[in-house]
Amino acid sequence: MRRWVFVLVLAAWSLAASGGPPAEVRDLMSSLGSCRLERARALLDQGVDPNFVVRLGPVAMTAASSACGKKCSPEALALLSEYGFDINGPSGGAAGTSPLFHCLLASDAAGSRYLLEHGADLGRIDKDQLDIFALAFSPQGRSPDLVVAEAIRKELERRGANTAKLLEPRKPIHPDQDPEVPPPEPGGVYAPGTRIGGQCAHYGWIPKDAGCGASGEEVFVGTRIVTQGWDAIIGPANGCKPVELPPLPGRYRVIVLENRTKWVGDKCYPNLGKVYFSKKPQKVKKREYTFDVVLPEEAGQKPKSGTVRIVDPAEGDQFAFDDSYPTGELVLSVLAKYAGDNTSVEFSTDALGDSEIRIVPASNAPKGTARATIIIRGLPPANGDFGSFTIRAKGNVAGTDSVRVELFYDPAARNHPGHGNPVYAGTPNWFYYWSQTRAGKPMNYRYKPVIKACTGSGKVQGRYVHAEDTLYISDAVFTGPCARRVAGAPDGGQQARGIDCFAEVVRHENVHRKEYQAWWGPHGVRLPECGLDDITGSLYRKLTGLDSDLDLVPDEVERRLSARGCDPHNKRSCMGRPDPRLLDVEMNAYTEAWKQWRIGSGDQEDWSKCGKQWKDRSVCSH
């Protein structure tokens, strides 16, 4: 083994020093070795040969070997397969120069498993090297993987038991009693889930080119049907990969496809696998057949059993995307325990809008446990996509479990997906997502980080600018709180915070919008941002003639509201102002906003971290 490591290192050094293969082949190998698969696909689309053989001394390799030992090896090998990659190439090299050898040498369990499941031949590797690989991929080895270890064990067993003669083909399970006499319709009925061992080609009813490799892995045979002149068998849809066919009771229709070969057709059934058909010497009398699938217990078999339980995270746990720009990310770790006939667990999750979800299983989890890392990249576009998120675990034999966690966003970050819209470009997450809730509807407004007070050096939370007919909301809404509600008002004595303050300010400024348009529109007047102080000339004289006390309420309106104490000559006279220092223009804005929005009305729509539904307040600064 040390000799091979030395040879491969020397080959790699020689390749770099001498220029080696054509530049485009080196580019392909480099792209695969650095997991730049889009670049690799582009090169393959341009016609770069995935089977170009690089020969340096005893080493002969193709581009596939560059992917071995990389985290993307299964994806890279699958990409090469799309372009005619020879999984057992190159020919003519030393015994240990196949892609499978290189992936085994790199302790790459995922890459080795992919190659074995797609027909890679362990027979090209020397026995001494296989002995070492068997230890490396055993449960006690440095890269434990049951599938790879079992394939190597069976290959070693095959060599030890068959040095003098080839394996005899095994007899089919449930052979015909009298092959010359067509059996009665609808044919035999057998239970799914029957396990048989050995290489796929050892069974007379499975053709050598049916997608089964020579890895010696177990095949799960579900049902064999015997009809007039035909044998049919259900095998796994993806070759020799050890998968359990689910018991799906019911009747299925088979349409026979005839050609010149022994194997006349196959048909895939959802969740069941492929059905292969072989022709017997008798004349075929029908072109359609039916077969039955029954539960194991109905066939007198003991059903397989198993349990799966997700240990971490727990039901109701809460997680938030980070503040990374421009695309936020959320990383979850999941741990499950399994028992019974199970040997592994598969994890899955809900979808989350347009977010990219990647599940990376751990390869070294102790027996009886399964771990995975769930990576979610990109915040979803809709506020409603946050909240409940289900993580599922399924045993490879039996048993399922699921937990529902809750997902949140960082409100102060600016990594939401709405920046392509001019309304939301550069806005923080709280503004983008709260705008989609009842708190932000149906008004029209814009974000402005800071809105200076018209008097003094302070800052305000919102403002309606009549001259622009635009309502602005500032960061002070998020940092809050809003003004304390007066006694007698809805939620009197309380202060709105977060999404409640946002809703209150939006409604407050919208009251100003409606009143300004109703009061000043008939006069053809557009008020500036900060009242009348910065107006001169004829417009000023016109406005002062309409508003004697300069409280932004026309005299005619105040005269109509005299019952509320309004005085056209006193800018602080109208009742309804929560603070006596406020001008009469505020006589309705506060009270109407408080009536329109009760504190707590938006709690169920707030998925901001440290917002209304966030539990762990120890991580919150306000």
Residue 566 lies in a domain: yes
389: three-class secondary structure by DSSP: strand
Q: Does residue 481 have a cis bond before it (omega within 30 degrees)? A: yes
CA distance linking residue 577 with residue 566, whole number of Å: 11
Identify whether the C-beta of residue 507 lies closer than 8 Å to the C-beta of residue 438. Answer: no
What pLDDT is recorded for position 168? Answer: 35
CA distance linking residue 583 with residue 592, whole number of Å: 16
Helices first, then strands: H and E counts in the chain: 14, 23
Q: Counting Cβ atoms within 10 Å, is residue 451 exposed (0-12), middle (13-18) or buried (19+)?
A: buried
What pLDDT is recorded for position 231? Answer: 36
Q: Count the Cβ atoms, other than its own, within 10 Å of residue 220.
A: 19
Q: Are residues 394 and 277 in the same domain?
A: no
- Identify the segments of the chain with pLDDT beneath 50: 1-19, 161-299
Range of the domain at 487: 438-596
Identify whether the C-beta of residue 70 lies closer than 8 Å to the C-beta of residue 35. Answer: yes
CA distance linking residue 312 with residue 401, whole number of Å: 12
| CB proximity list for 14: less than 8 A, separation 6 or greater | 20, 56, 57
What pLDDT is recorded for position 357? Answer: 95
CA atoms within 13 A of residue 188's CA, in its CB half-sphere: 21
What pLDDT is recorded for position 58? Answer: 65
What pLDDT is recorded for position 17? Answer: 38
Residue 152 lies in a domain: yes
Q: Are residues 320 and 469 in the same domain?
A: no
Residue 528 lies in a domain: yes
Q: Are residues 313 and 285 in the same domain?
A: no
Residue 386 lies in a domain: yes
Residue 469 lies in a domain: yes
Q: Are residues 458 and 523 in the same domain?
A: yes
What pLDDT is recorded for position 523? Answer: 85
Q: Are residues 27 and 86 in the same domain?
A: yes
Of 388, 409, 430, the residue that ends a domain is: 409
Q: Where are the alpha helices (DSSP H) in 528-615?
A: 537-546, 555-560, 589-596
Q: Are residues 351 and 325 in the same domain?
A: yes
Q: Are residues 450 and 591 in the same domain?
A: yes
Count of domains observed in the chain: 4
Identify whether the C-beta of residue 145 lies closer than 8 Å to the C-beta of residue 112. Answer: yes
Q: Are residues 590 and 450 in the same domain?
A: yes
233: three-class secondary structure by DSSP: strand
What pLDDT is recorded for position 165? Answer: 35
CATH code for the domain of 321: 2.60.40.10
CA atoms within 13 A of residue 195's CA, in its CB half-sphere: 13
Of 362, 390, 409, the residue that ends a domain is: 409
* CA angle (283, 284, 286) in 5-degree steps: 150
What pLDDT is recorded for position 501? Answer: 97
CA distance linking residue 148 with residue 138, whole number of Å: 8
Output the furthest CA–CA distance in the chain (Å, rounded).
Answer: 117
Q: Are residues 326 and 284 in the same domain?
A: no
Of 409, 429, 461, the residue that ends a domain is: 409
CA distance linking residue 470 with residue 612, whole number of Å: 29
What torsion, rounded to 10 degrees, do the Cα atoms 351, 357, 363, 364 define? -90
Q: In what order do the strands lie in the sheet with 230-235?
A: 224-227, 230-235, 273-279, 263-269
Residue 590 lies in a domain: yes
CATH code for the domain of 149: 1.25.40.20
Q: Are residues 445 and 578 in the same domain?
A: yes
> Which token pair is 341?
């006939």
What pLDDT is recorded for position 509? Answer: 95
> Which token pair is 304?
């397989």
* CA angle (347, 268, 169) in 5-degree steps: 95
Identify whether the C-beta of residue 296 lies closer than 8 Å to the C-beta of residue 191. Answer: yes
Q: Are residues 369 and 397 in the same domain?
A: yes
> How long is the chain?
622
What region does 328 belong to: left with phi over 0, alpha with psi -120 to 50, or beta? beta
Kindly report, residue by residue over 94-148, the tens digit of the pLDDT. 555 789 998 998 888 888 988 988 888 888 888 888 888 888 888 767 777 777 8
CA distance linking residue 605 with residue 493, whole number of Å: 24
Q: Counting Cβ atoms within 10 Å, is residue 16 exposed (0-12), middle (13-18) or buried (19+)?
A: exposed
Residue 432 lies in a domain: no
Residue 134 lies in a domain: yes
Q: Are residues 282 and 311 in the same domain?
A: no
